[in-house]
Amino acid sequence: MEQIAVIGAGTMGNGIAHVFAQNGYKVNLVDIAQASLDKGMATITKNLDRMISKEVIDEAKKEATLANIATYTNLKDGVSNTDLVIEAATENLDIKLQIFRDLDEVCKAETILATNTSSISITQIGAATKRPEKVIGMHFMNPVPIMKLVEIIRGYSTSDEVTETIMELSKKLGKTPTEVNDYPGFVANRILMPMINESIETLYNGVAGVEEIDTVMKLGMAHPMGPLQLADFIGLDVCLSILNVMYDGFKNPKYAPCPLLVNMVMAGKLGVKSVEGFYDYSESRKAENVSAQFK
C-alpha cells in the first residue's frame, strides 16, 4: 500500500487524507468541485497548524504532509494508479453505488475499494462492482486526525485477505481497527443513533429542555458532549439518513426517526453546518446558546 485515493474533500474526506499523508502515504484527494478541494486543503493546513501550536508536530512535518497530497477533479486521473481507494462522499446510496461502478471500471484489478459509509450496506455496495471480494468498509470517526477508532466492516463477499490488509493498514495509521459484520448501522451507529433519537423524543415530549438533557448525559454518564450537541455536530440530516437506513433494514419501529428530527431537517435546521440545530451557532461553534425555538 503506497498510493491512496480519497473520494470527497468534505469533513471526513479531508480528515482521512490528512491522516494518510501525515503517515507518509501518497494521497490523491478527489472531488468534482475545485472549491471543495481548496476548502479541504485549507482545513488540513489549519489542522496541521493547530498540531504545531500544540507541539505535536513541527513545521517540517507539516510541509511533508502537505507535499504528500495531490488534488484532482477528474475521477479517472485520481484513482487509476492507486492501491486503495476510500470513498467519503455524501451518505446517499445512489451516489455511492454510482461512484463504485465508476471506480470498478477505472481502477486496477487489484485495487481495494473501501467506503467510509456510516450505515449503508457494504454487501450492496460491493454487488455494484465486479470485485465484491475487494470491497470493504472503513468507517473513520470524526474528527479523523484525533479519533482512534476505525470500524472495519466486512461485506458478505469481502475476502479474509482484504480484511487483514485493511486491519493492518489501520494500525499503521495509529488507529485501533475493530472488525464488525455488515448489518444496518454496524456497531457505532446502531447503538449511538437510537440514543440520539431517544434524546430528541425526550425533548419532543417535553420531559426536559435541550441543556437539561445534555447536562444529564454529560455529568451523569460522563459523555464528553450531550447527545443533542453531538447530533448538531454530526448533522441532523446525517442522523436522519442513518436512522432511515436502520429502520428500512430492520423494519423495527424502535429505529423510526422522531417527528421533531424529521421536521428540523425539512426546515433546514441541520446543526453546526447550517448554523442552527438544537443550539444556535451564529456567534460560536460551541454549543453555548440554545436555539430560540427551544428556549
For the four alpha carbons of 8, 11, 17 and 20, in that order, the dihedral sign comes to: negative
Binding site for NAD(+), by residue number, is: 8-13, 31, 91, 96, 118, 142, 273
Residue 168 phi/psi, 5-degree rounding, is -65, -40
Residue 43: which region, alpha, beta or left (left: phi > 0; alpha: psi -120 to 50)? alpha
Name the nearest CA neighbour of 69 among 147, 13, 146: 13
Set 28, 36, 170, 189: catalytic member:
189
The CA distances from residue 99 to 31, 110, 159, 229, 238, in Å, are 11, 17, 21, 32, 19
Cα 203 off chain centre by: 26
Element spanning 66, H or E:
helix 59-67
Set 47, 118, 119, 121: catalytic member:
118
For the four alpha carbons of 217, 287, 235 and 69, in that order, the dihedral sign comes to: negative
Strands ordered across the beta sheet of 3-7 = 69-72, 26-30, 3-7, 84-87, 112-115, 135-140, 149-154, 176-181
Binding site, by residue number, is: 8-13, 31, 91, 96, 118, 142, 273
Q: Is-catalytic flag, 151?
A: yes
Half-sphere exposure of 76 (CA within 13 A, CB side): 2
Alpha carbon distance 151, 128 (integer Å): 22
Set 139, 170, 199, 276: catalytic member:
139
Half-sphere exposure of 173 (CA within 13 A, CB side): 29
Q: Is-catalytic flag, 189?
A: yes
Set 151, 170, 197, 211: catalytic member:
151
Residues acting as catalytic residues:
118, 139, 151, 189
